[in-house]
Amino acid sequence: MATQEETFKKLVSHCKEYGFVFPSSEIYDGLGAVYDYGQNGVELKNNIKRYWWDSMTLLHENIVGIDAAIFMHPTVWKASGHVDAFNDPLIDNRDSKKRYRADVLIEDQLGKIEEKINKEVEKAAKRFGESFDEAMFRQTNARVLEHQAHWDALHERYSKAMNASDLAELKQIILDEEIVCPISGTRNWTDVRQFNLMFQTEMGSTADGAMKIYLRPETAQGIFVNYLNVQKTGRMKIPFGIAQIGKAFRNEIVARQFVFRMREFEQMEMQFFVKPGTEMEWFKHWKEFRLKWHKALGLGDEKYRFHDHEKLAHYANAATDIEFLMPFGFKEVEGIHSRTNFDLSQHAKYSGKKIEYFDPELNESYTPYVIETSIGVDRMFLSIMCSSYKEETLEGGETRVVLSLPPVLAPVKACVMPLVKKDGLPEKAREVMDMLKFDFKTTYDEKDSIGKRYRRQDAIGTPFCITIDHDTLNDNCVTVRYRDTMAQDRVKIEDLHAMIQKAVDMKQVLRKLV
């Protein structure tokens, strides 16, 4: 059995080999934590975006979309708090010269203690078999209690230090816990420093006094500054939402784990404006809706969990993450935040404009509260790839790599293959392709044996392979081979369109959400 780390490495090389994800500027040896999506990756990514966009803007008549610019007036980031507070605590190891996030080092340490507890529990479960009472064991076993006390104390100290932004204390925790650098194995740490994650650039020539501007670290602010525009021009009534998909940029200190943590990434965010006092109800509503959206793809309900935040951002009064079970553990894919009226009030203050809503029912004006759902396209992409990548051993000992992608998201829906490159079969295959290509992403392949061609399509997750053989010319039937079962059927050419449509129709997934 391959370890999870090995499987993840294989997935990363698979992504490259099959045109999903390439390192950026690869011929120049790449650029740290920046990636390009290839011919298949972009199709998958576009399908994810469409699923999200349609679930927001088609299924909700009170949600509309926008596409705001990446560059924004620099005061936006002052008002939002990003200039002053969008920091991560960084620490360097002097021996390896590697840089880490101090909070992540401590969280990993907490994770290790948790693992120790779980190992004790697992061992005991094996020993006691059926009669094992896990709750009782956790409450009474001396070693578990010792680890738990350690975890509680560390967790409390860490939360306090983070809430107070006490950098000296964070360093002290790292020293006291004897945390070592995973590369050098030493405890030769520098002090902890705050590091602002926003990228800066200049707009205008220096001669006219160039203005320092930022690449947006989240798409949300583009929505807040357009709140009045959309509300007025769309005659939107509260509650209503504004959705947006776009690039965001963060100068992440530690950028590992492939597209999980990138410096340039894409977000799908929806800000939902509500009446003050109703925000908890809507927070609950959006938590449920978003989880349903994830589960509807059928990747496995057990792979998701909520993680409620203990440390709330300065603007939030409730926050939770939807985590997905990646090969490297449960990790955040989406955040759902109750942002109060913080952002709109701040923009009102800094811009001097009145940013409110006149509620005709109450006959009064107020600053709406906001529930945000914010998901990273790239993390969603990764979670789908991780759960779809499979290495299977077939009868006869042969192996195949298959991406069992949800058919609605698959980059290519069907591959059309003439059995041989002669006897009019390629021409017939082209005819079939021409019939399908207006509705489905279809490819054509005539090279190598049919078996090899099937493997190539399995590796990119194509749900249907359609083979044209000599009989096709007489009976107008083709052989359809299914990706997951590898079963084959003889299907009439005229029925192909309906068959593919049924499997890849976005509507059937969207219907699960209403």
Buried b (16+ CB within 10 A) or exposed e, 23-41: bbeeeeeeeebbbebbebb
Which tokens hold the place of 67?
């596409």
Task: Name the residue number minimizing CB distance to ligand ATP.
Answer: 376
Q: With beta carbons less than 8 A apart as the criterion, state whether 128 and 134 touch.
A: no
Q: From the CB of 199, what's the least distance to ligand ATP, in Å?
A: 12
Q: From the CB of 284, what's the least distance to ligand ATP, in Å?
A: 19
Q: From the CB of 33, what's the least distance to ligand ATP, in Å?
A: 8
Between CA 438 and CA 443, with CA 441 as vertex, the angle to 5 degrees is 110
Q: Rounded distance, CA 133 to CA 121, Å?
A: 10
Looking at the Cβ atoms of 92 and 378, the one nearer to ligand ATP is: 378
Q: Rounded distance, CA 411 to CA 40, Å?
A: 5
Q: CA separation (Å) from 84 to 42, 79, 130, 196? A: 35, 10, 55, 8
Looking at the Cβ atoms of 79 and 414, the one nearer to ligand ATP is: 79
Looking at the Cβ atoms of 53 and 366, the one nearer to ligand ATP is: 53
Q: Rounded distance, CA 360 to CA 71, Å?
A: 35
Looking at the Cβ atoms of 40 and 374, the one nearer to ligand ATP is: 374
Q: With beta carbons less than 8 A apart as the criterion, state whether 297 and 384 touch.
A: yes
Looking at the Cβ atoms of 230 and 248, the one nearer to ligand ATP is: 248
Q: Rounded distance, CA 86 to CA 358, Å?
A: 32
Q: From the CB of 228, what's the least distance to ligand ATP, in Å?
A: 24
Note the residues at the interface with ligand ATP (CB under 6 A).
Answer: 218, 250, 252, 261-262, 265, 267, 332-335, 374-376, 378-379
Q: From the CB of 478, what's the least distance to ligand ATP, in Å?
A: 41
Q: Rounded distance, CA 83 to CA 212, Å?
A: 12
Q: From the CB of 42, what's the least distance to ligand ATP, in Å?
A: 17
Q: With beta carbons less than 8 A apart as the criterion, state whether 261 and 33 touch.
A: yes
Q: CA separation (Å) from 398 to 51, 227, 457? A: 36, 58, 16
Q: From the CB of 337, what's the least distance to ligand ATP, in Å?
A: 7
Looking at the Cβ atoms of 81 and 150, the one nearer to ligand ATP is: 81
Looking at the Cβ atoms of 297 and 419, the one nearer to ligand ATP is: 297
Alpha helices in 18-74 (DSSP H): 39-57
Looking at the Cβ atoms of 15 and 333, the one nearer to ligand ATP is: 333
Buried b (16+ CB within 10 A) or exposed e, 350-372: eeeeebbbeeeeeeeeebbbbbb
DSSP state of 154: H
Contacts of 195 (CB under 8 A, 6+ apart): 87, 88, 89, 90, 251, 253
Q: From the CB of 265, what's the least distance to ligand ATP, in Å?
A: 4
Looking at the Cβ atoms of 296 and 375, the one nearer to ligand ATP is: 375
Q: From the CB of 263, what's the least distance to ligand ATP, in Å?
A: 7
Q: Rounded distance, CA 190 to CA 188, Å?
A: 7
Q: From the CB of 220, what's the least distance to ligand ATP, in Å?
A: 9
Looking at the Cβ atoms of 283 and 440, the one nearer to ligand ATP is: 283
